[in-house]
Structure 1
C-alpha cells in the first residue's frame, strides 16, 4: 500500500482560510484603524450648517487634528492642537449620542454672547458689518444663514476650560449647543477639512 500524504479535508480548509482570508482581515483591520485614528468621512444629514454644508455633502474629516488616539478607543496617544472657535467639528450629541457636525463658536476661556443669531466673542462682534451675514473667526470667514431667524440667544457667558459651545451656521434651523449645552472638547472626533462630493455637482474640493 502507498502511504497517503493527502491532508485531511478540515486541515485543508483551515489552511485555505489562513491563506485567503487572513490577509483580507488584516487589511480591513488596518483600514478601520486608519479611519478611527487618522482620516474618515462624514455625510451631512441635514441643513443645519447651510450654506457652508448642504444635505448630502460628503466631508473629509481629519481624525488626528486634535490628537492621535489608540484605534477604536478614546485613549489619546499624542496631543496636538486644541479645538478652537471657527473650526467645523464632528462629535456625538450630549443629548442622544447622534453624531453631529457643527461649528465651534467658543472654546474654553472664551467669553461669548449670541444675539439674533450673531456671535460676539471676547468682546468683539464677529460679523463684518452691521448688515452682513459673514462672521470672521480669526483668519477664517463663515457665512451664516438667517433665513429662519437667528434661533435662541445666548446670554454672555465664559466657557469653562475643556468645554466648547457649538452652533450650526443655519442659525434658526439648528439643534445645537443652545439646546443641549456645552460639549466636552475630549468628545470631539475630528475636524472637518473639506467637502469632496456634493449632490448635483459631483466631486468637488471645497475647504472649510
Structure 2
C-alpha cells in the first residue's frame, strides 16, 4: 500500500527540494555580498576591457551589503582614482562598468580625452597613470566632451570610459554617489575569441 500523497510530498520537499533551494539561496547571497561576475556589453572601456570580456567583481570592495538591498552594514570604503567599478546607470538603470576618474575634492579638467586633476596631467599619449594602476585609452574617435573646472563634492565620484570618444559616462549623467557602486572589477578571466585568461585590472 502506497503512502498517502501529503506525507510523500512533504518528504520529497524536505529531502530533495529544500536542500536545492538552500544552495540556490546561498549562492545568490554570496554573489550579492562577496563576489560576482559581469559580461562587458560595449566597447566604452577599451582597451582595458573589451566587448564580451567576463570580469570578476569584488562585491565587498566598498562595504558589506545586506543581500538584495543597498544597505551597507560593515566596512564602508570609498573608491579610489583608477578603480574599475560596476554600478547602475542613473539614466535607465542599465548595469555599467567604468573607471573612477576623480573623487571628492578633485578639480577636474578633461581636454581632448586627456585627464588632469588639480592641474596635473595623469598621463601622456594614450596612457593615464592613477595611484595603483594605469589606463590604456582608446582615442580613435577623439576625446568626447571636455570638462573644465569641475570640483567633485563629498560622497561622489566622476566616472569615465577609457574609450573617451565612445563612452556614455559621467559627462552625460553627472557624478555618481559612492554608495551606488556595487563593487570593484579586479580581473578579466575570459576574453571573447581567446577563452580563459587572467588580466588584473
Per the TM superposition, whether the score is higher than 0.5 is yes
Would you say how many aligned residue pairs link Structure 1 and Structure 2?
201
Q: 4+ residue stretches of structure 1 with deviation over 3 A?
A: none
TM-score (norm 1): 0.94
Partner deviation per Cα, 1:72-105 (whole Å, 9 max, x = no partner): 1111111243112100000001111111000010
What does residue 136 of structure 2 align with?
A: 143
The 3-state SS of whatever aligns with 1:109 is coil
Aligned to 1:37: 33
Matched, 1:83 2:76: no
Q: Is the 8 A contact 1:114 1:156 kept in 2?
A: no
Note the 1:107-122 alignment, pairs <5 A. Answer: 107-122=103-118
Could you tell me whether the CA contact under 8 Å between 2:82 and 2:132 is conserved in 1? Answer: no
8 Å CA contact 2:87–2:95 kept in 1: the answer is: yes
Partner of 1:106: 102
Superposed CA deviations along residues 50-71 of structure 1, whole A, max 9, x for unmatched, are 1111100000000001100111
Counterparts of 1:52-67 in structure 2, within 5 Å, are 52-67=48-63
Whether 2:152 is the aligned partner of 1:159: answer: yes
Q: In the aligned structure 1, how far is the partner of 2:90 from the partner of 2:104?
A: 17
Q: Return the match for 2:194 from 189, 201, 205.
A: 201
SS in 1 for 2:166: coil
Partner deviation per Cα, 1:174-200 (whole Å, 9 max, x = no partner): 000001111111000000000000011
Q: Does the Cα contact within 8 Å between 1:36 and 1:63 map onto a contact in 2?
A: yes
- Please give the root-mean-square deviation of Cα atoms over the aligned residues, in Å: 1.1
Following the alignment from structure 2 to structure 1, what is the Cα–Cα distance between the partners of residues 165 and 96? 17
Going from structure 1 to structure 2, the CA distance change for 1:8 and 1:202 (only over 3 Å counts) comes to same
Compare CA radii of gyration and give the structure with the larger one: 1
Q: Distance in 2 between matches of 1:81 and 1:32?
A: 23
Name the SS of the counterpart of 2:154 in structure 1: coil
Residue 7 of structure 1 deviates from its aligned partner by: 3.6
CA deviation after TM superposition for structure 1 residue 11, in Å: 1.6
SS of the residue 1:120 aligns to: strand
Aligned counterpart, 2:42: 46
With the length of structure 2 as denominator, give the TM-score of the two structures: 0.97
Q: Structure 2: 5+ residue runs without aligned partners?
A: none
Distance between the aligned counterparts of 2:150 and 2:105, measured in 1? 10
